[in-house]
Structure 1
C-alpha cells in the first residue's frame, strides 16, 4: 500500500489541510478540487499516482478540513484561493508541477498558470472549464442572475446548490450506473458546506465566479504561447460543463488529448480506473513525467 499523509500547515495565517504521497524528489502533480467537495474527491487518485509522482491535494480555504474563516473575516475570491495555493506550494518547495483541475479547481489552476507560466509542466482538466462553450445555461443562469443583482429571490435560487438534493444531483447526473456512486460522497460534501457560516462563503464564491470568464482570453493566449501538454478527460454526461468545454481546448492546443468518458461531473467516482490509465499514460508521455522534478 502507498502511504498517503494527511497534513495541516499554516499559510498566510490560515491552516490548510492537504493530502500528500510519493517521494518528495519525484515529479510533482497538484490536484485541485471543485465545488462542493474537497481533496476527498482525490482519495483514490492520490495513491494511484504516488508510485511515480509527488502528489499534493489541498483543500481550498472554506472547504474540507482547511480553515473556514467567516466571510466577514476573509475575502473569498478565486484570486485569494489561488494565492493561498501558490503560497502552500512555495512553502512545500514545489516550484514545477503538473496540475489536475476539476470544476472550481480550474479557475484556481488557470490563475496559477497565468501568474507563473514556467511552473506548469502539464495540465489535466477533468470537467474543468476554460471556454464559454462548455457552460450549460440551465445550470449557470441562477449564478449569473445572482451576480447581476443580489435580492432575496436570486439568493434563494442560488442557495439551492447547497442542498443535499442538488449535491446528490451533481454526483449522479450522467452516470450510466448510479449504484457505482457511494452515497457517502454527497452526504460528506453536504455536511461540510452546511457548517455554520459556510453558506456565506459559498455565496461569495458564486458571486465571484463571473470574474473567471474575463480570464479566458489570457488563458487561451497562454496555451498558444507556452503549449503545455494537456489532457482533457471529461464525463460526457455532465450537465454543468458539457463536452463542448473539453473539445474547445483543441482550438488553442491542437495536440491536446481529449477523452469523453461515460460519466458525470465527478467522473472519478464511476470511472476511476479509466481515468487513472489515461492520466498515467499522459504524464509518462509529457514533460511532467520525463525527469522533471517538483523541487
Structure 2
C-alpha cells in the first residue's frame, strides 16, 4: 500500500469514528488509586497504642474498634474502602495486636479501663467527633465511650457488637459459669477458647464455605494470644465481661436518649451473638437500620464488599457533612 493510500485510509477511519461516536476514541481513564493505609504508634497514658490510618484528616472521621481475639488487622480490607471519602482510624487495644500488653500488675484489664485508654487515644489524635464502628469487644468499649461523650459520636455501626441480653447465645455458657463461680477450675476451663483450633473455629463457624476464610487472620490472632502472659489477660477480660452485661441497661438508655444514627450489619450465623441482639437496636433507636448476612462472627472476612457498600451508603447519608 502506498503512503498516500495509507494516510487516506487512516483519515477515513477517523472520520467514520467521529461520525459514529461523536469524537475520536479516547483511552479509558485509569482507575482511581486505592487510599494508602499508614501505620503508627502513639503513647496513651503510658501505653504504646498501634493504629492504622487512611484518608484525608479534614474529612469526617470513622473510628474502627476491633474485638476478641483480633486487632485492627480485621479491618484491613474495609479501611481503604471507606477512606475514599472518610478519615479512617483503627487502633489496637492494650493486650491486642501490635499495641503494648502491660503486665496485669500495672494495667487493669477491664472494659472500663480499655474504654478509658481508647478515650485517651482519641484525645491524643485530636479526634473531636467521629462515627464509630464496633465489633465484639469493641462494642462495650465503644458504648462506654459514646455514653461518656455523646457529643463526639456522629453515628454508630455495629458489626456483631452486642448490647442486649437476648443477643447472647449459649456459646457464652462456660464464660457465664465463670462469672457466677470465679474459681480457678472454671477459669482454666476457658483456656480452650484461646487455642489455635478454637480461634480458627470462631472464624469459620457459620460460614458457608470455610475455605473462603483466609488463614492469615486467625493465624495472626493465635500468635498474639500465645505470647507469654496474654492468656491471663484474656481470661481477665472474660471475667470482666459480666460487667458489660450489667451495664446493658445504661447503654440502652444512651441509645434512647441520644438516638444516634445506627446501622447494624450482622453475620446471622454468629455462634456468640444472635440476630435478636441486632433487632433489639430498633427497640431503642427509632431509625436503626439492621441487615443480616449469611455468614458467621467475622462477617468482614467473607462479606466485606457487601457490608462495606452498606456502611458507605450509611455514612454518606448520615455523616458526610459532619465536622
Pairwise TM-score range, normalised by the shorter structure: over 0.9
Structure 1 position 70, deviation (Å): 1.7
Deviations 1:60-115 (A, max 9, x none): 00000000012122111101111111111111110110000000000000000110
Structure 1 position 280, deviation (Å): 0.3
Aligned: 1:292 with 2:322: yes
Aligned residue number for residue 235 of structure 1: 267
Please give the secondary structure, in 2, of the residue aligned with 1:64. coil
- Check whether the contact 1:70–1:198 (CA below 8 A) recurs between aligned residues: no
- Tell me which of 177, 190, 193 is aligned to 2:222: 190
Structure 1 stretches lacking a partner, 5+ long: none
C-alpha RMSD over aligned residues: 0.9
Aligned: 1:164 with 2:179: no
Aligned residue number for residue 44 of structure 1: 77
- Tell me which of 13, 31, 35 is aligned to 2:64: 31
Aligned: 1:258 with 2:290: yes
Deviations 1:242-277 (A, max 9, x none): 111111111111311100001100000000100111
- Check whether the contact 2:42–2:124 (CA below 8 A) recurs between aligned residues: no
Instruction: For 1:49 and 1:90, locate their aligned partners in 2 and report how far apart those are by CA, in whole Å.
Output: 22
Aligned residue number for residue 237 of structure 2: 205
TM-score, length of structure 1 as denominator length: 0.96
Instruction: For 2:87 and 2:114, locate their aligned partners in 1 and report how far apart those are by CA, in whole Å.
Output: 22
Q: Report which stretch shifted further, 262-271 or 67-76.
A: 67-76
Instruction: For 1:231 and 1:150, locate their aligned partners in 2 and report how far apart those are by CA, in whole Å.
Output: 36
- Tell me which of 99, 120, 144 is aligned to 2:176: 144
Aligned residue number for residue 24 of structure 2: none
Aligned residue number for residue 15 of structure 1: 48
Please give the secondary structure, in 2, of the residue aligned with 1:158. helix
Deviations 1:137-176 (A, max 9, x none): 2x11111111222334212221111011111111001111
Structure 2 stretches lacking a partner, 5+ long: 1-33
Aligned: 1:247 with 2:247: no
Aligned residue number for residue 68 of structure 1: 101
Please give the secondary structure, in 2, of the residue aligned with 1:156. helix
Higher Rg: 2
- Check whether the contact 1:76–1:201 (CA below 8 A) recurs between aligned residues: yes
Instruction: For 1:260 and 1:225, locate their aligned partners in 2 and report how far apart those are by CA, in whole Å.
Output: 26
- Check whether the contact 1:71–1:204 (CA below 8 A) recurs between aligned residues: no
- Check whether the contact 2:259–2:286 (CA below 8 A) recurs between aligned residues: no
- Check whether the contact 2:154–2:261 (CA below 8 A) recurs between aligned residues: yes
TM-score, length of structure 2 as denominator length: 0.88
- Total equivalences in the alignment: 290
Name the structure, 1 or 2, with higher relative contact order (CA <8 Å, separation 6+).
Answer: 1
Q: Report which stretch shifted further, 100-109 or 157-166.
A: 157-166
Instruction: For 2:222 and 2:105, locate their aligned partners in 1 and report how far apart those are by CA, in whole Å.
Output: 22
Instruction: For 2:128 and 2:247, locate their aligned partners in 1 and report how far apart those are by CA, in whole Å.
Output: 23
Instruction: For 1:269 and 1:15, locate their aligned partners in 2 and report how far apart those are by CA, in whole Å.
Output: 27
Instruction: For 2:246 and 2:149, locate their aligned partners in 1 and report how far apart those are by CA, in whole Å.
Output: 18
Please give the secondary structure, in 2, of the residue aligned with 1:153. helix
Structure 1 position 120, deviation (Å): 0.6
Instruction: For 1:263 and 1:153, locate their aligned partners in 2 and report how far apart those are by CA, in whole Å.
Output: 33
Please give the secondary structure, in 2, of the residue aligned with 1:212. helix
Deviations 1:270-293 (A, max 9, x none): 00100111000011111x22x112
